[in-house]
Amino acid sequence: MCLLKNWLIGPIEREIAKSSVVKLDSRRQIGAKLVTICTILLILLTGLSATAYERHGPTNFRVSFKNESRVKMKWKSPLAKRYVKKFLIFRNDVYLGSTRKTSYVDYVKTKGYYRYKVVTEKWDGNLTRSTKTLKVRFE
């Protein structure tokens, strides 16, 4: 704490002393500076971690099982489980459902090609990028 005070607060105290700002007593000044510094550090640290993760969506999206009427898809989460609220599954760009697991089973009634994507929704409401499109053909 002493090192933090000498390194960060010392120069700030000198700048405040030079300015024409109304001066508070020294205890309040130090307390206000510590709160400001901690707030700035918190914003910087959480901002960096959020932007690093939002760029990446689920990876390794693949079919793990398929027959004539259902497909089981699996993927790897881009975030630790505690940060994931749910995974949103899309078929042909239409919302299909959600899950907390890293797998999903879809049942189809008609034959043809289907395109699947998965997006991660975080607890703060932000979404990650979607997976690459997975094309599945039912015969």
Q: What is the CATH classification number for the domain harbouring 97? A: 2.60.40.10
Residues 87-103 have pLDDT tens digits of: 999 999 999 999 999 99
Give me the mean pLDDT over the 70-90 stretch. Answer: 91
47/107 same-domain check? no
Are 45 and 91 part of one and the same domain?
no
Question: Residues 66, 121: one domain?
Answer: yes
Q: What is the mean pLDDT of the chain?
A: 78
Q: What is the pLDDT of residue 95?
A: 94
Full-model pTM: 0.60
pLDDT at 130: 87
Number of domains composing the chain: 2
User: Cβ(132)–Cβ(60) under 8 Å?
Assistant: no
CA distance 75 to 64: 10
Q: Decide which of 54, 82, 97 is a domain's last residue.
A: 54
DSSP H or E segment with residue 103: strand 103-107
Same domain for 67 and 49? no
Q: Are residues 92 and 133 in the same domain?
A: yes
Separation between Cα atoms, residue 107 and residue 115, nearest integer Å: 13
22/90 same-domain check: no
> What is the residue range of 46's domain?
2-54
Q: Are residues 118 and 79 in the same domain?
A: yes
Whether residues 70 and 131 fall in one domain: yes
Instruction: Give per-residue pLDDT as tens, 109-137.
Output: 889 999 999 999 988 888 888 889 999 99
